[in-house]
A and B are shown apart, each in its own frame.
Chain A
Amino acid sequence: MAKLQLDIVSATGAVYSGQADEVIAPASEGEIAVLPSHAPLITTLRPGELRILNGQQETSLAISGGFLEIVNNKMTVLADQAEEASAIDLAKADEALRLARQRVAELPKDQDLDKALAELRSAHVRASIARRASDRRSPPRQR
């Protein structure tokens, strides 16, 4: 079966490029799984985990929102920010989450709550994806 050609780019550079059998993405209307030969689609993304299945291999990325386009088995993710789960420093992600929480709690009334909440949401997603990735890595001690 044909494979998807996947490119993930953010404003500051290319994040990921490769082939995939299936991509599970956090679309704003709910998670979507994309297989090859998908109909042309453009959707917005919310902060969440993007999983790439290629053969036996699974790659997980934290996405903080953006857009996804699929056409002719070519899938492009225009991410606001994207990071491979294994590259996230769990301790730092937790710290960022704590700070984001604190910011929301201490926010002055007239400030931009939506923005702070959005930041909190993506910090939360980032930390939990990093935690899952590190759990997966440590017990059976792969690689």
Chain B
Amino acid sequence: MANTRDLRRRIRSVKNIAKVTGAMQLIAASKMRRAQQAAEEGKAYADKIQVVLSDLVASLDQENLPPEAALLTQREVSKTLMVLVTPDRGLCGALVSNILRVAATIVRDSKTPVATVSVGRKGETFIVRTGNELRAAFKLSDRPRFEETTPITRIVVEEFRNHKADRVVIVYSDFKNLLIQRPVVTQLLPVEPSKAENATHSSYIYEPSAAAVLERIVPRYIETVVYHAILEAAASEHSARMVAMQKATDAASDFVEDLTLDLNKARQEQITGELLDIVGGVAAVQTG
């Protein structure tokens, strides 16, 4: 049985850990709410631009596409670019390893070379460690703003335009709810506007011209998708961290209970031992 001093020290240190994880849990909770709110607020724009784009694409003359439609055109894939969105920090349960597993699968199963643009440190170190090509690495603030995410899009579009990548995907973890965050892979380029429900008004007037609108709306659309993915990833990260920290705090308080029990036992044993010594001593004096 460990002595009481050691037990007391361990109880103290576990309590301190619980304090830290408890604080981290609260911080993660408030950050998650903010990220979720930001994702919610951006949704109207994202939905609308999707509808406008698919209307526009539906109205294009498929035989005679303007040069601006290059970002929409499928071509033979000889190189893939992956945008890998991960947290900067750990302590968020299985989130990082889940995303990295998906990323590793993409790299392994691809018949073509895969270069990566990383957003977040965990993805960056993973790509470097596994010896894959890292084209660019971004680090965003805790509360990503729209302007911060546009350089990512710029690089991606440039690579695609210059035929350095023929297909671009983005890998991030989608925020389902507090307990479920699922890694998802979405194709960024060439743009595949879903044949949207309301893509019925092909009689639009386009000003200055359909091609001119297309030229501006497609990059904007990609920016929106990237921004949205990053907000989802942020909400996922914070909720995963919140749950992980809550578990850690619970485990710590369980552990404190166990240790306290051990401590009490040890203390009682010690007292019993001392009593026995005294009783024995007294008996020895009396008989002697």
Interface residue ranges, A against B (CB under 8 Å) = 7, 9-14, 27-29, 39-44, 67, 69, 71, 76, 78, 80
User: Which residues of A have CB within 8 Å of B220?
Assistant: 67, 78, 80
Q: Contacts A9-B48, A13-B42; is A29 near B213 (CB within 8 Å)?
A: no
User: Closest 4 interchain pairs by CB?
Assistant: A13-B41, A43-B207, A9-B44, A9-B45
Contact of B48 among A29, A40, A76 (CB under 8 A): A76
Residues 38-50 of chain B, each 1 if its beta carbon lies under 8 Å from chain A, else 0: 1001101110110
Contact assessment for A40 and B204 in the assembled complex, using a CB-CB cutoff below 8 Å: yes
Contact assessment for A78 and B42 in the assembled complex, using a CB-CB cutoff below 8 Å: no
Q: Is B91 close to A, CB under 8 A?
A: no
Name the residue on A nearest B44 (C-beta): A9
Q: Is B281 close to A, CB under 8 A?
A: no
Contact assessment for A43 and B206 in the assembled complex, using a CB-CB cutoff below 8 Å: yes
User: Which residues of B have CB within 8 Å of A11?
Assistant: 42, 45-46, 146, 223-224, 227
Please give the distance in Å from A110's CB to the nearest CB on chain B: 16
Q: Contacts A9-B45, A69-B52, A78-B45; is A40 near B227 (CB within 8 Å)?
A: no
Interface residue ranges, B against A (CB under 8 Å) = 38, 41-42, 44-46, 48-49, 52, 55-56, 145-146, 201, 203-208, 212-213, 216-217, 220, 223-224, 227
Contact of B207 among A10, A29, A71, A80 (CB under 8 A): A29
User: Which residues of A have CB within 8 Å of B41?
Assistant: 12-14
Subset of 19 A-B contacts with CB under 8 Å: A9-B44, A9-B45, A10-B45, A11-B42, A11-B45, A11-B227, A12-B42, A12-B145, A13-B41, A13-B42, A13-B44, A28-B212, A42-B205, A42-B207, A42-B213, A43-B206, A71-B201, A78-B52, A80-B220
Contact assessment for B44 and A39 in the assembled complex, using a CB-CB cutoff below 8 Å: no
User: Which residues of A have CB within 8 Å of B52?
Assistant: 42, 67, 69, 76, 78
User: Which residues of B have CB within 8 Å of A14?
Assistant: 41, 44
Please give the distance in Å from A50's CB to the nearest CB on chain B: 16
User: Which residues of A have CB within 8 Å of B206?
Assistant: 41-43
Contact assessment for B216 and A44 in the assembled complex, using a CB-CB cutoff below 8 Å: yes
Q: How far is the CA of A99 from the CA of B15 in the complex (A)?
A: 52
Contact assessment for A44 and B213 in the assembled complex, using a CB-CB cutoff below 8 Å: yes
Name the residue on B nearest A32 (C-beta): B207
Contact of B205 among A7, A10, A41, A80 (CB under 8 A): A41
Known: A42-B207, A67-B220. 4 other contacts (CB 8 A): A12-B41, A44-B208, A69-B48, A78-B52
Please give the distance in Å from B223's CB to the nearest CB on chain A: 8
Most B Cβ at <10 Å: residue of A11, A13, A40: A11
User: Which residues of B have CB within 8 Å of A42?
Assistant: 52, 55-56, 204-207, 213
User: Which residues of B have CB within 8 Å of A13?
Assistant: 41-42, 44-45
User: Which residues of A have CB within 8 Å of B145?
Assistant: 12
User: Which residues of B have CB within 8 Å of A7?
Assistant: 44
Contact assessment for B207 and A27 in the assembled complex, using a CB-CB cutoff below 8 Å: yes
Q: How far is the CA of A42 from the CA of B212 in the complex (A)?
A: 11
Please give the distance in Å from B214's CB to the nearest CB on chain A: 10
Q: How far is the CA of A42 from the CA of B204 in the complex (A)?
A: 7
Contact assessment for B42 and A28 in the assembled complex, using a CB-CB cutoff below 8 Å: no
Q: How far is the CA of A76 from the CA of B55 in the complex (A)?
A: 14
